[in-house]
Amino acid sequence: MRGGDFEVFEAADFPSATQVIQRAVPDVAIIEESLQGTTGVPWQKWLDSIEGFGSTRIIALTEDRRSRTRARVLSAGADAVVTKPASAEELVALIESLCRRIDESSEGDGFEAHKVLTNGWIRALALRDIQIEGHCTRVAALTVDLARYLKLPPKQVEELRYGALLHDVGKLGIPDTILGKRGGLDPEERARMRLHPEHARDLFAGVEGMKEVADIACYHHERWDGSGYPDGLAGESIPYSARLFSIVDVYDALRSERPYKPAWPEDQALETLKAGAGTQFDPDIVAAFLEMMAAPAEKVA
Ligand SMILES: [Fe+2]
């Protein structure tokens, strides 16, 4: 499709589409089912992983006319489904309508009004290569799975997704020499790195309507027994969203390969979470997480 008044980015498969959406945070993404290609990533699962990334609205383009498929794609996060062949006029009208909806929602109070700000921070993190690909996307998807499993309201689920994407936004205040250092940090550098939740607190100071996002960015390193940082909060004095997210964050870290360790198998990572229930983590949320992981078919609502 020609650009017209739009700036157009293209992607040939799901991984590069994810990259474009994360880096450019376009207003609208048109996703063809054929992008699934040979990646083996199911169409709905991929859509679900990027649902609500930034304020990007998703148009799903498919040849499948069955209403069941259309319903599944919509429930996976697409804002509209268009059956191929689609006319350029139809697509342009739909894009313009979705852009109007974004403008209208940005004029309101509260969280919607801050999406421009959050999208800017997401771009800033991507520009500094701070884990925005991979870790952030995975923890955002799993945080949403857990939030839905716990039957939290959709608005809170959306805020938790943003919180997960922006959990390390405070690292914007950490020097590149520390962020990009290969090998271990010395004690002074480690102490500097531990300031990132406090940098997040500075970033969110005076920003109303983003409590869940700010709570995750400021308190995801607190521990249930009070031995965490920055404030040494304990038990239920740690904001709920931060308690929930910290479980997902640690799980993903354990399951990922790092320079100093291989990726742990799922059962070992889950055992570690179980062992940390009541000391590092909220035991009730750990129990829900383990239950959800034992019932993978129910993970995605
Ligand atoms: Fe962190």
Q: Are both 137 and 228 inside the same structural domain? A: yes
Q: Tell me, what's the pLDDT at 39?
A: 53
Q: Are both 162 and 270 inside the same structural domain? A: yes
Contact between residue 161 and residue 136 where contact means Cβ atoms under 8 Å apart? no
Q: Are both 171 and 119 inside the same structural domain? A: yes
Count the Cβ atoms, other than its own, within 10 Å of residue 228.
20
d(CA 55, CA 220): 24
Q: Tell me, what's the pLDDT at 100?
A: 75
Query: Could you list which residues have their CB under 5 Å from ion ligand 1?
Result: 168
Helical (H) or strand (E) element with 240: helix 240-255
Residue ending a domain, choose from 73, 107, 141: 107
- Output the tens digit of pLDDT for each of the chain's 301 residues: 444 577 788 888 777 787 777 767 778 888 887 666 555 556 666 766 665 555 678 888 888 777 777 777 776 667 888 888 888 888 888 888 887 776 665 555 456 667 778 888 888 887 887 665 678 888 988 999 999 999 998 888 888 988 999 999 999 999 989 988 887 889 999 999 999 999 999 998 888 788 899 999 999 999 999 999 999 999 999 999 999 999 999 999 999 987 778 999 999 999 999 999 999 999 999 999 999 999 855 444 3
CA 168 to ligand 1 center in whole angstroms: 5
What residues contact residue 35 under an 8 Å CB cut-off, 6+ apart? 11, 12, 13, 14, 17
Q: Which of 45, 171, 181, 274 is catalytic?
A: 171
Residue ending a domain, choose from 74, 91, 107: 107
Q: Are both 218 and 237 inside the same structural domain? A: yes
Active site residue 171: yes
Q: How far is CA 160 from CA 13, 155, 245, in A?
A: 27, 9, 8
Q: Tell me, what's the pLDDT at 4?
A: 56
CA 167 to ligand 1 center in whole angstroms: 6
> Could you tell me if residue 6 is inside a domain?
no
> Could you tell me if residue 37 is inside a domain?
yes
What number of residues does the chain have? 301
Q: Are both 23 and 65 inside the same structural domain? A: yes
Q: Exposed (0-12), middle (13-18) or buried (19+): which is 226, by Cβ within 10 Å? A: middle
Q: Are both 143 and 289 inside the same structural domain? A: yes
Main-chain dihedrals φ then ψ at residue 264, nearest 5 degrees: -80, 150
CA 283 to ligand 1 center in whole angstroms: 21
> Could you tell me if residue 4 is inside a domain?
no
> Could you tell me if residue 1 is inside a domain?
no
Q: Tell me, what's the pLDDT at 93?
A: 86
Identify which of 160, 167, 135 has the alpha carbon closest to the alpha carbon of residue 52.
Answer: 160
Q: What is the CATH number of the domain that holds 53?
A: 3.40.50.2300
Boundaries of domain holding 70 = 14-107
Residue ending a domain, choose from 77, 107, 137: 107
CA 258 to ligand 1 center in whole angstroms: 15
Q: Are both 97 and 116 inside the same structural domain? A: no
Identify which of 219, 245, 243 has the alpha carbon closest to the alpha carbon of residue 164.
Answer: 245
Main-chain dihedrals φ then ψ at residue 297, nearest 5 degrees: -65, -25
CA 55 to ligand 1 center in whole angstroms: 23
CA 20 to ligand 1 center in whole angstroms: 24
Instruction: Please give the DSSP secondary-structure letter assigned to residue 281.
Output: B
Q: Tell me, what's the pLDDT at 2?
A: 45
Q: Are both 48 and 178 inside the same structural domain? A: no
Q: Are both 267 and 141 inside the same structural domain? A: yes
Instruction: Please give the DSSP secondary-structure letter assigned to residue 295.
Output: -
CA 170 to ligand 1 center in whole angstroms: 8
Q: Tell me, what's the pLDDT at 134?
A: 75
Dig out the tokens for 217 from the structure: 């960015």
Instruction: Give the start-end residues of each E strand in the chain.
Output: 28-32, 57-62, 80-83
Q: How many domains does the chain have?
A: 2
Contact between residue 218 and residue 229 where contact means Cβ atoms under 8 Å apart? no
